[in-house]
Structure 1
Amino acid sequence: MKLDRATDGKAIVRLTGGLQLGLGNLLAALALIGVIVYLAALSTGLGNTDTGLLDLVQWLFGEPLGDEQLYALWTVRLPRIVLGFLAGWSVALAGAMLQSLARNPLADPGLFGLSQGSMTTIMLLLVLVPGAPKVLIALAAVGGGLGVGLALILLVGGERSSGLAILLMGIAIETVLSSIAAMLLLYTPTQTSVALADWMAGSLFQASWPTIANFLPLFLASLAGIFLVGRALGVYDLGHQMAMSLGVSVGWSRPLILIFAVVLSSASVTAVGPLTFLGVLAPQIAAFVSPATGRARLYLSGLTGGILVIAADALARGPLRDMPMPIGLALTLIGVPLFIIALRLQALRRLQLH
């Protein structure tokens, strides 16, 4: 590993095997990881029970801890923090992939209809089989998302179809599925309708270690998957025709990226419900923190998504703990102002450059 400079003059870190990382991207990733650690430490002390990080550390080193404090830390707060990061990482990563695929900064699993496919399938299952096991719910979510992904591939045609065509078709499918979801909410029994509406608002209330154990393999697979599709996505940013001219096999890489995004989005929807607009927010905020392409952009987007969800949960359990708030609303209260500030500062930065 050694410091060097790329052809554009930017500092990079060269690793063995020819892999290189932008020094600015590497420092940004370390800073984001630091923010995650800080927010996680802060979040362990938020709640009605008077306990926090210091008690947790002492317990890990053998100090006794009261049953109420242990339950608050180990059973409630830590699972929420970990699952919040995993869900935020997954949705943000899926959004970053789809934005490169469509060459549109507004593309995300919701706009493509992938999240809505998972949600609608889960809603139908819960209406028809109210006591459905979690495994069946997870399979329904993945099946609904994959169904939308397959429909997109079939409807937009082959290799020469543009990313814009996929985006427009995704919007059309999402509109139809949203109408079906609205009908389910209107015409199902009141108790079922209220339960579905609460779930659609997003929640970490059911976070648990078994859920995290089921989610963890997907997170590890996503780290490896970034290396598989990262380079292709970096080329997709240059345009569909350019990707083909540079030798990217659009015929297999595009379906692979869609399937990858579907699985990530479906897992998040199953675990915590829909995280509206996160797939747009996180990549754009990450781009403001440190502009990047390819694999670096995916990693930074995932870390930013995890930060936003942990911060939203901290807001819901801290200053606003006396007012029940779904994680989706808390995420909007935190993410949208940051998004507006980032866009404004980016515009000012461009004006200064010109």
Structure 2
Amino acid sequence: MRWSTSVAGDRVLRLPAGLQIRQRDIRVALALIGVLAALVLLALGTGSISVPLDVFWGGALSPDQHYALYDIRIPRIVVGFTAGYSVALSGAILQSVTRNALADPGVLGLSQGAIVSVMLVLVLAPSAPQWQVFLCALAGGCGVALVLFMLTGRERGNSLALLLMGIAVESVLSSVSGVLLLYMPPEVSQSLSEWMLGTLFQASPRNMFWMLPLFLACFVGVLWAGPPTRALELGDELAQSIGEEVGRSRPRLLLFAVVCNTAAVAVVGPLTLLGVMAPHLVAFMAAAGARARLYLSALTGGVMVVLADTVSRGIAHDRGLPIGVIIILTGVPLAVILMRRHHVA
């Protein structure tokens, strides 16, 4: 492991097996980790029950403080970060696979496929365990991906055709979920309405440990997804010319993106626009390579969700507002600013 200068003149850290990381990417990652650490400390003390940091580190917690920390706040932080990490990673992969900067699990209908599947499970088997809900959400997302591949046919390499088909499928599934919600019992429909906005009200120690393997899978999966993602960004013909098997790489990357997204949707609901915003924020901070961009996008998504949850709990205490609403309210103006800057440039 040593520092050197790349052909492009960038300062890079060279690792074994030919891996290299740009110095600027490392700085951005360290900055994001620092922001995350500050947000975690802030989130631990935010809520209706005050928990000073000295009391937390000293371990002299009252029963109420112990419950607020270990049953509400810490699970919300872990589940929120993992969900944001997974959704943002999914969005970054989809943008590379489709070569479309607007590609997102929600825009392509993958989130709606998972939502409809989860709603059907809750209607037919309200007491279904978490693993069954996850499998049904995964089946719904994969089903939508398969439908998109079938509808686009030979045009699946056309990013515009894939995007338009995704919007059409998403519209149909949104109507289906609206009809299902209309005929559900009031107590179930109210919880589902909040879940469909993206919320951490289901965050619990059990779900926290359920989400940790997802985080590890996403983290390790980027090591595999980096090279084919970089190749597909060049276009199908160029990717094939450098030895990439496009016919195998694209479905595998799409499946990986579906798993990352649907696992998060099954717990926290859809996080609208997060998969679009996080990669664009990374592009604004650092023009990273494929693998570094995936990691930085995922880390940015996790930080954004923790920030949104901290803000929502600061407004509505431990219950909090739907984080999806906070992300949209803060993300849309940010996206407009970034697009205007890009247009001017």
TM-score, with length taken from structure 2 = 0.94
SS at match of 1:21: strand
2:269 is aligned to 273
Pairing 1:245–2:235 present: no
After superposition, give the CA deviation of every residue in 1:262-301 in whole Å (9 maximum; x if it has no partner).
1111111011111111111111111111121310000010
1:313 is aligned to 309
2:45 is aligned to 45
Worse-superposed segment, 64-73 or 145-154: 145-154
Pairing 1:73–2:69 present: yes
Q: 2:82·2:214 contact (CA, 8 Å) conserved in 1? A: no
Q: 2:113·2:140 contact (CA, 8 Å) conserved in 1? A: yes
**Cα–Cα, structure 1 residues 341 and 79, in superposed 2: closer, same or farther, change >3 Å?**
same
Worse-superposed segment, 8-17 or 186-195: 186-195
Query: Structure 1 residue aligned with 2:214, among 211, 218, 227?
Result: 218
RMSD over aligned CA atoms reads: 1.9
Q: Structure 2, unaligned stretches of length 5 or more?
A: none
Aligned-pair CA distance for 1:259:
0.7
Letter aligned with residue 20 of structure 1: Q
Aligned-pair CA distance for 1:158:
5.8
1:175 is aligned to 171
Pairing 1:88–2:84 present: yes
1:27 is aligned to 27
After superposition, give the CA deviation of every residue in 1:120-142 in whole Å (9 maximum; x if it has no partner).
11112212222322222111111
CA distance in 1, matches of 2:6, 2:160: 32
Aligned-pair CA distance for 1:207:
0.9
SS at match of 1:251: helix
After superposition, give the CA deviation of every residue in 1:9-66 in whole Å (9 maximum; x if it has no partner).
122111122111111111111111111111111111100101043322211xxxx321
Worse-superposed segment, 219-228 or 79-88: 219-228
Q: 1:159·1:251 contact (CA, 8 Å) conserved in 2? A: no
Query: Structure 2 residue aligned with 1:191, among 187, 190, 211?
Result: 187
Aligned-pair CA distance for 1:99:
0.5
Aligned-pair CA distance for 1:227:
1.2
Q: What is the correspondence of 1:111-150 to structure 2 with a 5 Å cutoff?
A: 111-150=107-146
CA distance in 1, matches of 2:77, 2:225: 28
Identity %: 48
Worse-superposed segment, 106-115 or 321-330: 321-330
1:233 is aligned to 229
Pairing 1:157–2:175 present: no
After superposition, give the CA deviation of every residue in 1:76-124 in whole Å (9 maximum; x if it has no partner).
1111111110000000000000001111111010111111100011112
CA distance in 2, matches of 1:80, 1:125: 24
Pairing 1:206–2:202 present: yes
Q: Structure 1, unaligned stretches of length 5 or more?
A: none
CA distance in 2, matches of 1:222, 1:24: 23
Pairing 1:13–2:9 present: no
2:3 is aligned to 3
Q: 2:152·2:162 contact (CA, 8 Å) conserved in 1? A: yes
Query: Structure 1 residue aligned with 2:295, among 292, 296, 299?
Result: 299
1:334 is aligned to 330
Worse-superposed segment, 39-48 or 9-18: 9-18
Q: 1:103·1:164 contact (CA, 8 Å) conserved in 2? A: no
Q: 1:102·1:163 contact (CA, 8 Å) conserved in 2? A: yes
Q: 2:88·2:275 contact (CA, 8 Å) conserved in 1? A: yes
**Cα–Cα, structure 1 residues 226 and 38, in superposed 2: closer, same or farther, change >3 Å?**
same
CA distance in 2, matches of 1:221, 1:23: 26
**Cα–Cα, structure 1 residues 241 and 160, in superposed 2: closer, same or farther, change >3 Å?**
farther
Q: 2:155·2:161 contact (CA, 8 Å) conserved in 1? A: no
CA distance in 2, matches of 1:35, 1:133: 35
Q: 1:32·1:303 contact (CA, 8 Å) conserved in 2? A: yes
